[in-house]
Structure 1
């Protein structure tokens, strides 16, 4: 799923949207080297660009360069603990942006002896190898910025799936024509190899890593490829590896309907003064929501704000709901208010909270050439589809896939786009890592690693943990995608202890509760947590 992590943490870490790093630092003028040569960047951070082989099977065939930033360890401490690499998910999320936004806070949790390191995976953000679209204007016409992380609903119209299929065939053909022999190397296994190079460039022997969402797939892949290089590794919001590498992510949807029901239940429990979308029963709230979705499908709502304008239709409504249930502590209250306003014909609340970006303008004096910073859609397609088993489904086969996914979750009209997108992707490196490779290495991890997950990933966690004997499970009993979406001082305490000391209970559980009762989630207040083990 293209679900860039939007926020992190609690206690000393404050919830705040992840935004693009300050554009005053120009990575294009910053030379790459084969060692980590640090330059001051942003405010309190250091940046470097590391040269790595484009093709590890043929190192002489060319290079790529990885954009890296770090929140430096406190060098006055007597004990330097090395780098902790972070991946915020996506795939296609910018590790540079992520660390610039929250690196100082993560250092507070883990300890000041670590370098907190963000890197842009090959093909992503400040390290783009992707020139699928030629320039800013072509991209804006094809993928408007407001829809960069929005999936079209395959249920919006009778021909929605067929239209999306046709569009991704064009995108796939453009990727082939403009590949220039590098896009096949934008894969998770090569990013894992890059992580080892980064770790070794720090002078460190084993990887220390915290990967979120897609970052769990990256961490699991690294552990299978380099079992003797696993140090202290956390994967958070665990993806099922067989699903990831087979290109069938339907089982990732298992609990989404339950999460939406919790929003409905919490709204009813909160009452009319605390939940703007309150109705006299949970059944009434469900009926009202279904009626609203049917209405918006028939008649979208125009929206004009001081910043921008758009047509708010069924696709945006479905995406707003999905975003809210994956990050409830941040978005349940805005969703409730937005639904209430939309029912009155006002879409501005949902639009501004979930989707609004300034209108596109050509930069004066610029040729608007690529590469550019915001390319998460293209990077996600290249990594998702380049990793997976080739998908050659016809429209009718995709319709059957979507119909089966709907039996698992109502919101399958969004997530099934992953399969549709990959039906147009024709670039697959023959020697890439696959699910068969993964299973073949499942018993080769001698070093215990720690795997953290959210409740909605329970079955995925156990399947993945079974591949790595000696791994430790920490369960977070909360509704959200990853621990980032449901911040817990209990989880952060465990993680800090693990990274600092390498110690962990054989089994751990954190229970996340708001006080005085669960309905306070609707108030959008900083919750006071009572964490239990």
Structure 2
């Protein structure tokens, strides 16, 4: 907030060697609305390891971590350097040869409209204290299906919430009316263009006039010549696909990682999103049984996956009937079925990191070790317990803009009643008992929503200036590979030249587990535009409990390749933990943020 927004991109030193900026953008690109304040876009740049005048400088890669409404500045602050090391060639030598093939990139994160450091903030509550009280009430209400009355009460709470948003949105120029993905895609076009103009000014300052003229790509007589290089995760794939469909001539190298189906998202039903959730859940039972009790605490000697599943379901079902009283560090509390089921779903996003914690939790629930359960609750609770009366409450990591974006993009369903949602929950539970209740809760968020943004609803396609690389996992709990492959192949027809890469692991996006093959494909694409062969499947080298499933394809590479990619593997691990700790990705729970700038 200390940085003054400007119509040009002006970077300021922040957080050590990082750079922050605030870009002033129109509130309304299409209708020329004069009410309300302009958008001040919060931007954070991890500078490339070489100057912009260096021939090895390969431009910026803009990132979006998912959401909707994930704070890109926070992701760039904590994960940007890891992403940079993962994508770049390595540490550059001071003087590169004329024929050097090394490539180095800026990593740039930004907060979408209404989110984080971007102002004006989208809000439906007047203060954070009451927001947290409301969140606590929602948590205590549980998931739809956690009791006979939960569905009706949650629907009423969601309608009350959205009516509060409707009241705010009725004010002329309120940001809640200008946060759709179409608006954010338009912001990205402006951001890419402004960065290109900034680069040209830097070139002019650093090089003699004769050389700077040669180096320039900016044509002052033609706006929006910049090509957007982009890596979008989860919901970020929907944002990327929206950009590509709206501005096909401005698509640079674009990776859409963990592909969200546009029609499923805009329809607001998400039945297609959970078609592989049980497949991802089954990998927990299979890896745990294969690992045995030495590595998976829930397993017994010679356990089968079916036996692990039976034990797991028995413990979870016991919580449904008998929530567990716990003495936590902040005082008395209760561990509920809904809280644990929500965490189970969260672990499916990052099995390598979180499956061991899940197994440990269930083992200690089984034996009644409440001290470990209390430690678990303190670490994974979405509520900032332990704050004394009178202390300040942190700003939630994702504000009301998350709901506003989702509802602005979705088809209207403000007239749906409790019976509709009851039937919808049965449909979702029939597809995925693990994810059905959570997806029903997400679907209910737009009940009663009236604020209508300009939105993009297709057609989803275009002859992009650069072909797109789509990537999906074989057991993704929220963006299933079958639908991704079908979608991406369908999109490849809509976006000529696009290619689908399959990342052979459970979890959400390529950050779920490391693969040399996937790393090489991503680097080749960002470095020189080379796409993998259509139909390529990349095995991984990381597994939950450090144990592959019987018959699972394991990536094997030479020592030379392993050595060459050692730093990329370490960087991937860093970013994976940031992605997990911040709860990034579509449908993930969010915690709270820290002031950025």
Provide the TM-score with structure 1 as the length reference: 0.86
Q: Does residue 464 of structure 2 align to residue 445 of structure 1?
A: yes
Match among 339, 343, 361 for residue 366 of structure 2 = 343
Q: Is the 8 A contact 1:46 1:70 kept in 2?
A: yes
Alignment correspondent of 1:18:
none
Counterparts in 2 of 1:204-243, with a 5 A limit? 205-243=226-264
User: Does the C-alpha gap of structure 1 residues 82 and 146 become closer, same or farther in structure 2, counting only changes over 3 Å?
Assistant: farther
The offset of 1:118, in angstroms, is 0.5
User: Does the C-alpha gap of structure 1 residues 275 and 47 become closer, same or farther in structure 2, counting only changes over 3 Å?
Assistant: same
Matches of 1:219 and 1:490 in 2, distance apart?
A: 23
Q: Does residue 531 of structure 2 align to residue 504 of structure 1?
A: yes
Counterparts in 2 of 1:157-306, with a 5 A limit? 157-179=147-169, 180=171, 181-203=174-196, 205-279=226-300, 280-306=303-329
User: Does the C-alpha gap of structure 1 residues 167 and 521 become closer, same or farther in structure 2, counting only changes over 3 Å?
Assistant: farther
Q: Is the 8 A contact 1:335 1:350 kept in 2?
A: no
User: Does the C-alpha gap of structure 1 residues 33 and 104 become closer, same or farther in structure 2, counting only changes over 3 Å?
Assistant: same
Match among 107, 110, 127 for residue 119 of structure 1 = 110
Return 5+ residue gaps in structure 1 as ranges.
1-26, 523-527
Matches of 1:443 and 1:115 in 2, distance apart?
A: 27
Counterparts in 2 of 1:410-489, with a 5 A limit? 410-411=433-434, 412-429=436-453, 431-434=454-457, 437-439=458-460, 442-445=461-464, 447-455=466-474, 456=476, 457-461=480-484, 462-467=486-491, 468-489=495-516
Counterparts in 2 of 1:17-96, with a 5 A limit? 27=1, 29-59=2-32, 61=34, 62-76=37-51, 77-96=54-73
What RMSD, in angstroms, separates the aligned Cα atoms of the two structures?
2.7
User: Does the C-alpha gap of structure 1 residues 400 and 365 become closer, same or farther in structure 2, counting only changes over 3 Å?
Assistant: closer
Alignment correspondent of 1:4:
none
Alignment correspondent of 1:21:
none
Matches of 2:250 and 2:194 in 1, distance apart?
A: 14
User: Does the C-alpha gap of structure 1 residues 41 and 360 become closer, same or farther in structure 2, counting only changes over 3 Å?
Assistant: farther
Deviations 1:388-436 (A, max 9, x none): 001131100011111111121112011111211111322112x3212xx
Q: Is the 8 A contact 1:82 1:202 kept in 2?
A: no
Counterparts in 2 of 1:272-421, with a 5 A limit? 272-279=293-300, 280-306=303-329, 310-345=333-368, 346=370, 347-355=373-381, 358-359=384-385, 361=387, 373-376=395-398, 378-391=400-413, 392-411=415-434, 412-421=436-445
The offset of 1:446, in angstroms, is 5.2
Matches of 1:446 and 1:75 in 2, distance apart?
A: 26
User: Does the C-alpha gap of structure 1 residues 90 and 126 become closer, same or farther in structure 2, counting only changes over 3 Å?
Assistant: same
Partner SS, residue 400 of structure 2? helix
Matches of 2:141 and 2:387 in 1, distance apart?
A: 23
The offset of 1:164, in angstroms, is 0.8
Matches of 1:355 and 1:530 in 2, distance apart?
A: 39
Partner SS, residue 325 of structure 2? strand
Matches of 1:207 and 1:302 in 2, distance apart?
A: 52
Matches of 1:44 and 1:165 in 2, distance apart?
A: 47
The offset of 1:236, in angstroms, is 0.4
Provide the TM-score with structure 2 as the length reference: 0.77
Deviations 1:473-509 (A, max 9, x none): 1111111111112232321221122111111223232
**Aligned residue pairs: how many?**
489
Deviations 1:116-152 (A, max 9, x none): 00100111122253120111111111114996xx994
Return 5+ residue gaps in structure 2 as ranges.
89-102, 198-225, 549-553, 562-597
Matches of 1:470 and 1:341 in 2, distance apart?
A: 51
Q: Is the 8 A contact 1:146 1:355 kept in 2?
A: no
Deviations 1:412-469 (A, max 9, x none): 011111211111322112x3212xx234xx2443531111122233233231442222
